[in-house]
């Protein structure tokens, strides 16, 4: 009995196995028919997500870069649990024709040596300031974007403040540009020296792709070069920044770029929420 039943059960099992195999084969074919379309749809969705995607990492923390303000003569700063309070005398650490007739003239005055044949010294001269900017250590995108103020909107790494893209009355900078010294800054009536456009002393010192400072919302400002390519306004959003990895923030951060054309540093306002600016 055993001798007969064994082969017969083997045969029936083989038969069953074959049926299963063929069923499997049929169902596999059916699945394969559908799979490519599904995969294709998935890929398309992923690509769309990647291009219009919100930043993956929004837990921004700028405390690691505060050391750029160490040993800067114009700057002293205090760190709290949520902010860094940067105080600056705002005296540029580079020479300028605008040091003419000031307490620092002997050391810091120099003739204009820039390339603008229309350069004319404006009537203002550099004066010491007491500017204090409170900057969030953990910057976040603001729900409602605030316009940048007239006057300081951020701090560069040598202690000189950044101004926005407007002259008085929100007019274009066209006339003011002719009074920018060889380092592309100039003083306001208060004596506050400032950069509206690329601070070339800093890009010459640290590099065209370097971290140049912070706006008051805590987001960093970089030079016009990134990955060996010049950034233009077209590469940036309305606030004149974009999200991406930088040398100081390899996990990615929203950041502004200086560009050769208007609006130069910031566009339609702060991307984040600015802290207090007093002067
Ligand atoms: Zn100005
Ligand atoms: Zn960038």
Beta bridge partners of 243: 254
What residues pack around ion ligand 2 (CB closer than 5 A)?
226, 244
Mean residue pLDDT across the chain: 87
CB 223 within 8 A of CB 258: yes
Q: Which ligand is nearest to the CA of 150?
A: 1
CA gap 83, 138 in Å, rounded: 8
Range of the domain at 208: 63-278
Same domain, yes or no, for 148 and 44? no
Share of the chain above pLDDT 70, in %: 81
Residues 93-142 pLDDT 10s? 999 999 999 999 999 999 999 999 999 999 999 999 999 999 999 999 99
CA gap 38, 129 in Å, rounded: 63
Same domain, yes or no, for 68 and 175? yes
Q: Kindly tell me if the per-residue pLDDT of 196 is higher than 90.
A: yes
Same domain, yes or no, for 101 and 42? no
Ligand 1 centre to CA of 69 (Å) is 23
**Number of structural domains found in the chain:** 2
Q: Does residue 58 lie within any of the structural domains?
A: no
Which residue, 14, 32, 53, sits at the end of a domain? 53
Q: Does residue 135 lie within any of the structural domains?
A: yes
Tell me the whole-structure pTM to 2 decimals. Answer: 0.81
Same domain, yes or no, for 156 and 268? yes
Ligand 2 centre to CA of 138 (Å) is 19
pLDDT band for position 2 (cuts 50, 70, 90): very low
Q: Which ligand is nearest to the CA of 230?
A: 2
Ligand 1 centre to CA of 167 (Å) is 6
pLDDT at 37: 46
Same domain, yes or no, for 114 and 238? yes
Same domain, yes or no, for 162 and 196? yes
Across 187-207, average pLDDT:
98
Same domain, yes or no, for 5 and 111? no
pLDDT at 51: 45
Residues 11-57 pLDDT 10s? 555 454 444 444 444 444 444 444 444 444 444 444 444 444 467 77
Q: Which candidate, 272, 212, 269, places its Cα nearest to that of 61?
A: 272
Ligand 2 centre to CA of 247 (Å) is 10
Q: Does residue 189 lie within any of the structural domains?
A: yes
Q: Kindly tell me if the per-residue pLDDT of 85 is higher than 70.
A: yes
Q: Which ligand is nearest to the CA of 187?
A: 1
How close are the terminal C-alpha atoms of the chain, in Å? Answer: 106
Same domain, yes or no, for 123 and 99? yes
């Amino acid at each position: 009995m055993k001798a007969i039943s064994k082969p017969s059960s083997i045969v029936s099992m083989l038969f069953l196995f074959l049926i299963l195999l063929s069923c499997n084969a049929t169902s596999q074919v059916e699945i394969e028919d559908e799979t490519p379309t599904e995969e294709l749809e998935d890929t398309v969705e992923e690509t769309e997500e990647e291009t219009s995607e919100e930043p993956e990492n929004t837990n921004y923390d700028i405390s690691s870069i505060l050391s750029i303000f160490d040993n800067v003569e114009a700057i002293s700063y205090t760190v709290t649990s949520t902010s860094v309070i940067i105080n600056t005398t705002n005296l540029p650490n580079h020479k300028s024709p605008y040091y003419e007739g000031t307490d620092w003239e002997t050391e810091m005055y120099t003739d204009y040596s820039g390339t603008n044949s229309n350069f004319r010294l404006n009537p203002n001269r550099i004066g010491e300031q007491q500017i204090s900017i409170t900057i969030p250590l953990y910057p976040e995108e603001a729900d409602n974007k605030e316009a940048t103020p007239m006057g300081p909107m951020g701090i560069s790494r040598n202690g000189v403040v950044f101004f926005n893209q407007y002259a008085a009355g929100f007019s274009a900078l066209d006339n003011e540009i002719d009074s920018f010294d060889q380092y592309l800054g100039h003083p306001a009536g208060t004596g506050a020296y400032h950069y509206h456009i690329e601070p070339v002393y800093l890009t010459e010192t640290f590099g065209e792709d370097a971290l140049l400072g912070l706006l008051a919302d805590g987001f960093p400002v970089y030079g016009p070069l990134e990955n060996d390519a010049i950034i233009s306004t077209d590469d940036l959003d309305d606030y004149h920044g974009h999200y991406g990895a930088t040398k100081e923030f390899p996990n990615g951060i929203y950041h502004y770029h200086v560009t050769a054309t208007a609006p130069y540093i910031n566009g339609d306002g702060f991307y984040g929420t600015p802290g207090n600016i007093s002067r």
